[in-house]
Chain A
Amino acid sequence: MSSLLKITDLHVSVDEKPILKGVSLNLRQGETHALMGPNGSGKSTLAYTLVGHPKYEVTDGTIEIDGTSINELDPCERARLGLFLAFQYPVTIPGVKVADFLRHAVTNIRTPERKEGEGLIPMRDFRKELKARMEELGMDVEFARRYLNEGFSGGEKKRMEILQLAMLQPKFAILDETDSGLDSDAVRVVSEGLRKLSGPQMGSLIITHHERLLEYNVPQFTHVMLAGRIVETGNADLAHELHNHGYAAVRERHPVEAAEEQEVQQKSVAPIAVPV
C-alpha cells in the first residue's frame, strides 16, 4: 500500500512571525506535485517545516505519515521515516567525505533502528552502489572522495542533492528550487536525474519557478501559494500558465491574500528566514 504524507491546516511561525497560515496538502507515494508561488509566499518555509527545522515553529495543524503525526519528531527521525529535502542551499561540511557521509546516511535510513557506533553497510556493496548511481547521474566518481559540498559549484551541489536522493530512496522527496541558479545543461541533468528516480515508490513535491524541471517531471497536481496559504490547486496546465503569465491573475482571483502579501512586503524589515 502506498504511503501518504498528509498536511492539515498547518500554521508555522518563525521568530513568532506567522508565515504559514493554514496549509493543507496530501502527497501520496508515486505522485508528483508542483508547488509554485511568488517569493515570500511560504514555499521554503513549508519545505523546512516538513523536515523539522528547529527554527520553524508549528503553532497549529498536523503533519502525518500514514495517520501518525510527526510534528514532534526531530529531522533525523523524519528522515528515517522516508522524508527527504533537496536543499535550495546545500550545506558544506568541511573535512567530511561524501562517501563517509552517505554511508552513514544510507545505513541509518535503511536500518532506522541503528544507533551511533553500530555497524555500517559493507564498504564493498556501498561503493558499488554509489558508483553506479554516480554514473547514472553523469557524476565523476572522484566526487565521492571530496569533502561534502566543499568547493563545489552551484550545479555540483545540486547534483549532489540528487545523488543523495538516489541513494536514500525516500518515500517523500521535497525539492526546494533544485533548478535555481543552474545553467540550462545543469537543469537538464538534474531534471533527467529526478525523472529517473521517480516511480511508484516516491512522491515528490517540487518547488520551482521554472518550467524545465516540470517538463521532465510532469505534475499531477500544481499548488499555488500566496501569503502563506495554498490558494489554488490544478494540474500541469496551471504550472504552465503561471510560468507564461506570472502571478498577476492569481492575485486578481485572490484579492484578500494579495492584499496580505502586499502588507507583509511593505513591513518586511525582517527578511524571510532562509538558512544558508
Chain B
Amino acid sequence: MSVISSPPRTVSPFNAEAFEQFLSTRQEPAWVSDLRSRSFEAYRELLVTELDPEEWKRIDTRAFRPEKFAIRDGSTAQGGSSEAAGFATLLADRAEFAGVVSHVDGACTRSTLSESLATKGVLFGNLSDLVRTHGDVLKPHLMTKAIKPEADRFAAWHGAFWTGGTVLYVPRNVEITEPLYSLIGLAAEGAADFSHTLIILEEGASATLLEETSSASATTAGLHVGAVELLLAPRSNLRYVQLQNWNEKTWHFGHQGGRVERDASLQWTVAGLGAKLAHIHQEVYLDGKGASAQVNGVTFATDKQLISYYTQQTHNAPNTTSDLLYKDVVRDKARCVWRGMIKVAKDAQKTDGYQRNDGLLMSDTCRVDAIPGLEIEADDVRCTHGATAGQVDEEQLFYGMCRGLTRSEAMHMIVTGFFQRVYDRIPVEIVRETLGQAVERKLGIRE
C-alpha cells in the first residue's frame, strides 16, 4: 500500500516516556498540551482503577494487548493522493458531499469543504490543524462537556493520545442541507487510531455528518480508541451517523457523548458491523427544555465477534424526549451486549424517555445480553423500556418456505425485516440503503 511507503516511527507502549515523546512531536498550543497531560495523569490512575463492573462485567478484554499497537507518527502522513486507497467504503461514493475529511492510521489524508459553506464560516477539517488555527472555537468544547478525560480509562487514554479526527463547526443559523462525510481508516499492521470526532452546532444551525470506519485489509490487526462529541446549542439540529465497519481483527473502544440544549434535536445512528471486539459507551444528555434525541442502533455480529454498547439517556431538563431503539442480530458464536439506562433528574418533569433493544439469534451458539434500566428522580414522567431476544421464528421460516423461499432465503428476509424498523427511522436515504446492503453482504447474499 502506498500509505505505508516507509516504516513509520512508532510510540509504544503507552507509558510516561512514550507520552512525553509523543507530546514533543505534537507542538500544540499550551491548552492542548495541558489537556493531554491532564488526561495522561488520569489515564495512569484509571489504569489501576477497576472499570465500572456495571459497564464492563460482561465484556472479556483479557486477550487485549495494548502494547501490540502503536500510534503512527503524524509527520509521516502523506498527502491527499493516498486517501481511501484500498478502502472498501460503504458510503464514500454514494452521494455528493458538501465536504469530506479522511484519516488513515490517525493522520488526516484529505480535507475538503464546499466554498459556499466555508464562506459562511463553517469549519470542517482535521482536529490536529484546527486546534492550532481555531483554538478559540474549539477550546470551550474539546473534552469539557460531552466527554471528560476522567470519565474512564479509555476516555483518559484517548484524551492523552488523540491524533486527529474530524471537526465540524456550524455557525449560528447556518443550515447545511447536503451531508458531510468522514472516513476513519486503518491500514498498517498494528496501527492504533485515536480519532476524535467533534461536532459543534451553534444556535439554530443544522447539519448531517455521515462517518464510517474501515480497514484497508481484512487481515491487519488494528486498534481504535475513539471519542465522539456532539454539542448542540439551542434550536440546532444534527443528524449524525457512525457506521463501524472495521475488519474482524480490530479492537474498537469508543466514548461517545451528545449534549442537546433547549429545543435542539439530535438524531444519532450507530451501526456496528465490524471489529473483533467493540465497546461503545454512548451517552446523550438532554440539557435544555424541549430538547430531543433519537438514538438508533443496528448491530450485526457474526463469527466470534463481540459487539457491546453501554447507553445512557440522561434527562436534565423538563419536557425533554429521548427515544432509543437498538436492533441486534447475532450469528455463529458471536455475542452482543447492550446495557441501557434512562436517567431522569429531579427537575426534568414531563420527560418522555423510551429505550428498547431487540435481539435476533440466527444460531444456537450465539448470544445476546440486553439489560435495560431506569433511574428516575422526577415524579411526572413517562419512561418505558423493553428488551427482547429470541431465535428466528420457525413458523415464519416455514411460511416463507411455503412460498418457495429456501430456508436460508427466508432467514435472510426475516433478518432484513427485523432491521427494517430501525431503517424506517433513519431519514437519510443513502444511509438506509447502505446499511441494508452492508447487512446483505454480511449475510452473504450480495457481492
Contacts and interface: CB of A to CB of B under 8 A. Distances in A.
Contacts of A79: 401-404
B414 A93 contact: yes
B236 to A, nearest CB: 32
B395 A94 contact: no
B409 interface: yes
B421 interface: yes
Contacts of A80: 404
Contact of B399 (A87, A94, A147): A87
B421 A74 contact: no
B398 A94 contact: no
9 contacts: A74-B401, A76-B404, A76-B405, A76-B407, A79-B402, A87-B402, A91-B393, A95-B421, A104-B413
Given A94-B421, A95-B417, A117-B446, A53 B398 contact: yes
Contacts of A276: 395
A117 B401 CA distance: 16
Nearest to B447: A117
A199 B218 CA distance: 56
Contacts of B445: 116-117
B421 A275 contact: no
Interface of B: 393-396, 398-410, 412-414, 416-421, 445-446
Contacts, number: 92
Interface string A29-59: 0000000000000000000000111100000
Contacts of B408: 116
Nearest to B417: A95
Interface of A: 51-54, 74-76, 78-80, 84-85, 87, 90-96, 100-102, 104-105, 108-109, 112, 116-117, 147, 164, 168, 275-276
B300 to A, nearest CB: 14
A147 B418 CA distance: 11
A104 B406 CA distance: 10
A93 to B, nearest CB: 5
Contacts of A104: 403-405, 409, 413
Given A75-B402, A112-B404, A116-B406, 19 more contacts: A52-B402, A75-B401, A76-B402, A76-B404, A91-B393, A93-B396, A93-B399, A93-B400, A93-B414, A96-B414, A96-B417, A96-B420, A101-B400, A101-B403, A108-B406, A108-B409, A147-B417, A147-B420, A276-B395
A52 B403 CA distance: 12
Contacts of B413: 93, 96, 100-101, 104
A116 B409 contact: yes
Nearest to A104: B405
A95 B416 contact: yes
Given A91-B399, A93-B396, A105 B405 contact: yes
B418 A105 contact: no
B417 A168 contact: no
B399 A90 contact: yes
Contact of B417 (A53, A75, A93, A116): A93
A92 B414 CA distance: 10
B418 A95 contact: yes
A147 B407 CA distance: 20
Given A91-B396, A96-B417, A276-B395, A85 B406 contact: no
A84 B407 CA distance: 17
B420 A275 contact: no
Contacts of A90: 399
A61 B324 CA distance: 54
A108 B404 contact: yes
A75 B421 CA distance: 28
